């Protein structure tokens, strides 16, 4: 009886697994005698197997250090040791974790100011750099309305709200210093408005101010 | 006169089975001599299995001890329908795997720590036994074997180093025999093509 080429290839695999019965083994041998290709395949496979077994033996044919029997028998009788060991281990692990976290924390403390990327660091504003150094825009600021009294001047109002009189002028589209009593002014109040920004360059402020509109007074 | 000669193999097998049963009984009873016989008989096999999985001698020693500890503890639950060797191999394999897992976690932790502290990162090689001299072909096969995933690698080791049959491997890993066949087939194909590539060049 003849077997097909594919069947022979399949049988070669089972032969390598040593799971062929005598009948199939015979069929395979018969096929190998006639088929050059299968013969090569089988030869290469067994070559590979021989090399592989050799490598494994070279790497792993070591003898263990003989186990101490008394350790085995002692530990077998006392299981509580394991529990104690577990507690110690978990304590060590948690301690190590704590140390790790602390060190990491310390590192972030010492590293970040050097990089200059700490966002919550208080920025002390200087008049010329205030608007460019922070991300504030005037839109973010709260706008409050203020009714002008008889004694008020533009400068006194500006000083009262700690803003520059130029900003106040721009925000209300005023062309002159003169104020009419009982009219309303819009006063932009920012969180970190500098105490004195009189020298702030108007050129950097003007585009930011544009969206602010005058309230009907 | 006709003498009835019982089949020699059968008799040896039956004696072995009876002896194993006795040995297990004595081990459960706490007979230290029996335990010693039991350990000495299997420790080389268990050690080599552990070594072939974790590739580290000290760790393999540790696994061997753990294996016998848990084996002696649970000897009562051992059922005689399985082979004792396969049962021990299963335990040893489980311990080896948990060691591998531990090592992976440690490696991850180490790499995390080293990225924080900018340490020099030292990678552990898969084969610590650098003293063994391998030729080019052997080296290529060894590298390819270690490149296989854990399932394929374990099956190949059990089949070719420990020379277990497919049914024994299936029992140890509790996987279907068909799966073992296909894994062996795939792994062999990979290794063989590697060898052919080497010879072709």
Over residues A168-217, the pLDDT tens digits come to 777 777 777 777 777 777 787 765 544 444 554 554 444 444 555 555 54
Is B138 close to A17, i.e. CB distance below 8 A? no
DSSP A176: S
Tokens, residue A42: 């089988």
pLDDT digits (tens, 9 = 90+) for A47-101: 888 888 888 888 888 777 777 777 777 665 555 556 678 889 999 999 999 999 9
Q: Which CATH number fits the domain B11-101, given the four candidates 1.10.150.120, 1.10.1740.10, 2.60.40.420, 3.30.565.10?
A: 1.10.1740.10
Residues of chain B with C-beta less than 8 angstroms from the C-beta of A63: 44, 47
The overall average pLDDT reported for chain B is 81
pLDDT value of residue A4: 82
pLDDT value of residue B83: 80
Is B185 close to A56, i.e. CB distance below 8 A? no
Q: If residue B41 lies in a helix (H) or strand (E), which one and from where to where?
A: helix B32-54
Residues of chain A with C-beta less than 8 angstroms from the C-beta of B55: 59
Judge contact between A15 and B181, C-beta under 8 A: no
Judge contact between A174 and A158, C-beta under 8 A: no
Question: In CATH, what number does A130-209 get?
Answer: 3.10.350.10
Classify domain B129-201 at the CATH topology level: Arc Repressor Mutant, subunit A (1.10.10)
pTM for this entry:
0.57
Of A19, A53, A62, the CB nearest to B166: A19
Residues of chain B with C-beta less than 8 angstroms from the C-beta of A107: 116
Long-range contacts of A169-177 (CB under 8 A, 24+ apart): A170/A202, A170/A205, A170/A206, A170/A209, A171/A138, A171/A143, A171/A209, A171/A212, A172/A214, A173/A214, A177/A153
Of the two residues B126 and A104, the one the predictor is more confident about is A104
pLDDT value of residue B162: 87
Of B48, B116, B141, the CB nearest to A55: B141
pLDDT value of residue A102: 92
Q: Where are the beta strands (DSSP E) in A93-177?
A: 142-147
Q: If residue A189 lies in a helix (H) or strand (E), which one and from where to where?
A: strand A184-189
Which has the minimum average pLDDT: A64-68, A127-131, A208-212, B111-115?
A127-131
Is B184 close to A16, i.e. CB distance below 8 A? yes
The domain spans of chain A are: 5-60, 130-209
**pLDDT-based confidence at residue A134 (cuts at 50, 70, 90):** very low
Distance from A41 to chain B by nearest Cα, in Å?
Answer: 10
Which has the minimum average pLDDT: B3-12, B24-33, B86-95, B112-121?
B3-12
Interface predicted TM-score (ipTM): 0.75
Judge contact between B156 and B163, C-beta under 8 A: no
Distance from B11 to chain A by nearest Cα, in Å?
Answer: 25
Is A58 close to B159, i.e. CB distance below 8 A? no
What is the mean pLDDT of the segment spanning B41-48?
89
pLDDT value of residue B92: 92
The domain spans of chain B are: 11-101, 129-201
Pick among A52, A75, A77, A103 to test the B interface (most B CBs inside 10 A): A52
Pick among B112, B185, B187 to test the A interface (most A CBs inside 10 A): B185
């Amino acid at each position: 009886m003849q077997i097909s080429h594919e069947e022979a290839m399949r049988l070669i695999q089972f032969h390598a697994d040593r799971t062929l019965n005598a009948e199939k083994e015979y069929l395979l041998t018969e096929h190998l005698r006639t088929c050059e290709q299968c013969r090569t395949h089988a030869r290469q496979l067994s070559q590979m197997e021989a090399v592989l077994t050799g490598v494994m033996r070279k790497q792993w044919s070591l003898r263990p250090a003989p186990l101490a029997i008394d350790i085995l028998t002692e530990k077998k009788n006392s299981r509580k040791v394991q529990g104690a060991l577990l507690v110690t281990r978990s304590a060590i692990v948690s301690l190590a974790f704590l140390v790790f976290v602390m060190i990491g924390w310390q590192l972030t403390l010492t590293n970040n100011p050097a990089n200059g990327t700490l966002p919550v660091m208080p920025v002390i504003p200087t008049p010329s750099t205030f608007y460019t150094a922070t991300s504030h825009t005037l839109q973010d600021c709260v706008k409050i309305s203020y009714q002008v009294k008889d004694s008020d001047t533009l400068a006194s109002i500006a000083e009262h709200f700690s803003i520059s009189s130029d900003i106040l002028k721009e925000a209300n589209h005023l062309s002159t210093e003169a104020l009419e009593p009982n009219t309303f002014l819009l006063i932009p109040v920012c969180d970190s408005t500098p105490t004195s920004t009189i020298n702030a360059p108007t050129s950097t402020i003007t585009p930011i101010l544009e969206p602010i509109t005058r309230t009907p007074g | 006169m006709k003498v009835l000669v019982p089949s020699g193999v059968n008799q040896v097998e039956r004696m072995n089975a009876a002896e194993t049963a006795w040995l297990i009984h004595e081990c459960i009873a706490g007979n230290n001599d029996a335990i010693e016989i039991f350990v000495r008989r299997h420790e080389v096999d268990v050690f080599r299995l552990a070594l072939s999985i974790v590739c580290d001698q000290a760790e393999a020693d540790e696994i061997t001890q753990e294996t016998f500890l848990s084996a002696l503890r649970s000897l009562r639950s051992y059922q005689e329908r399985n082979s004792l060797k396969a049962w021990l191999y299963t335990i040893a394999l489980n311990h080896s795997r948990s060691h591998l897992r531990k090592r992976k976690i440690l490696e991850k932790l180490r790499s995390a720590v080293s990225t924080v502290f900018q340490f020099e990162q030292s990678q552990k090689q898969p084969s610590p036994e650098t003293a063994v001299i391998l030729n080019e072909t052997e080296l290529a096969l060894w590298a390819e074997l270690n490149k296989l995933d854990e399932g394929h690698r374990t099956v190949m080791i059990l089949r070719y180093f420990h020379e277990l049959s497919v049914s024994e491997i299936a029992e140890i890993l509790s996987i279907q025999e068909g799966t073992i066949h296909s894994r062996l087939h795939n792994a062999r194909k990979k290794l063989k093509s590697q060898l052919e590539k080497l010879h072709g060049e």
